[in-house]
Amino acid sequence: MASSALYIRIDNVLNNMNRSWEWLASQIYNSKGTSLKGSYLSSLTQKMQNDVELTKSEKKYVQEMKNILNFAE
């Protein structure tokens, strides 16, 4: 699935749950125990919207988002 389509799907699920991308990001913690924040989240969602190739690390975060929202492509 293209990242822009995945972005739209995640966004729709979040809207249906009455949740924000910031809420979703706060559910994901990196190896240092800190959640995704502002500029990183903004950069990630911008790349998804524009179908820019995601890094391995970004793909891992997107997979975590999908796991939290409990859906598969």
pLDDT in tens, 20-43: 999 998 888 766 677 777 788 899
Domain count, the chain: 1
C-alpha to C-alpha distance for 34 and 27, rounded to whole angstroms: 10
C-alpha to C-alpha distance for 22 and 25, rounded to whole angstroms: 5
Q: Tell me the backbone φ, ψ of residue 29, rounded to 5 degrees.
A: -120, 140
pLDDT at 11: 96
Tell me the one-letter amino acid at 15: N
Mean pLDDT for the stretch of residues 36-62: 90
Q: Domain of 62?
A: 3-69
pLDDT tens digit string along 12-21?
Answer: 999 999 999 9
pTM equals: 0.81
CB 45 within 8 A of CB 7: yes
Residue 10 has pLDDT above 60, yes or no: yes
